[in-house]
Amino acid sequence: MDVSVVGVLALQGGFAAHEHALNELGVATAQVRTPADLERVDALVMPGGESTTMSRLLETSGIFDQLNARLRVGMPVFGTCAGMILLATEVLDGRPDQKSFAAIDITVRRNGYGRQVDSFETDIEVDGLLTSFHAVFIRAPKVVSFAPTVEVLASYDGSPVLAVQGHVMVASFHPELTADIRLHARFLQLISTPSKVTRS
């Protein structure tokens, strides 16, 4: 694998569980809280949390512009739940001051599957996996439209919940909240593709 360190955005949300999953796969990880931290990693996981808070923290930490530049030149990224919202091209029902990276051609609705009280778990079929994946949805965003260039890897109730476009992978749910590390392994396939990792 031609990658040394996978960063996990550690401003807010469930970043520790993502670190654990990646470590289980034998990957070196680093928590990203500053622009200097981001410069030292070759790929990034953006965890779940509260998307408006994360957007604001990306700005105040000075990371937003640098991360945007890294995404534009092909740095692999895996966004889950709030991470998906931040990577989407369009966010419905977001705050007026909320910024996203427009790194994957999808439109999402915040809390599209309901609020915290509506959280649920279900098994989904994922392209390329021999058995189903147990998905945990917590205040999950819902994909309401997507470009033809977006590859849908899994759907729930007719809507994509796992998708990839180029070097960007997103999930509506929280794969880090189970012991199943197959989706993190799938992300590592993006990282190991030649010419995907480019430093700014």
Q: Is the pLDDT of residue 1 over 60?
A: no
**Which of these is catalytic: 19, 81, 167, 184?**
81
Contact between residue 24 and residue 47 where contact means Cβ atoms under 8 Å apart: no
Could you tell me the pTM of the whole model? Answer: 0.91
Q: Is the pLDDT of residue 21 over 80?
A: yes
The confidence score (pLDDT) of residue 191 equals 86
CA distance 140 to 174: 9
Reported as a pLDDT band with limits 50, 70 and 90, residue 192 is: confident
The confidence score (pLDDT) of residue 194 equals 46
Higher pLDDT pick, 48 / 132: 132
CA distances from 183 to 45, 49, 108, 149, 171 (A): 12, 19, 21, 20, 9
**Which of these is catalytic: 18, 19, 167, 174?**
174
Express each pLDDT in 68-99 by its tens digit: 999 999 999 999 999 999 999 999 976 767 78
Report the relative pairing of strands 77-80 and 43-46 from DSSP bridges: parallel
Reported as a pLDDT band with limits 50, 70 and 90, residue 193 is: low
Does the annotation count 50 as an active-site position?
A: no
Q: Report the percentage of the chain scoring pLDDT > 70.
A: 90
What domains lie within the chain, and their CATH numbers? 6-192 (3.40.50.880)
**Which of these is catalytic: 18, 19, 167, 176?**
176
Q: Which amino acid is at 163?
A: A
- The closest of 109, 121, 116 to 175, measured between CA atoms, is 121
Does the annotation count 167 as an active-site position?
A: no
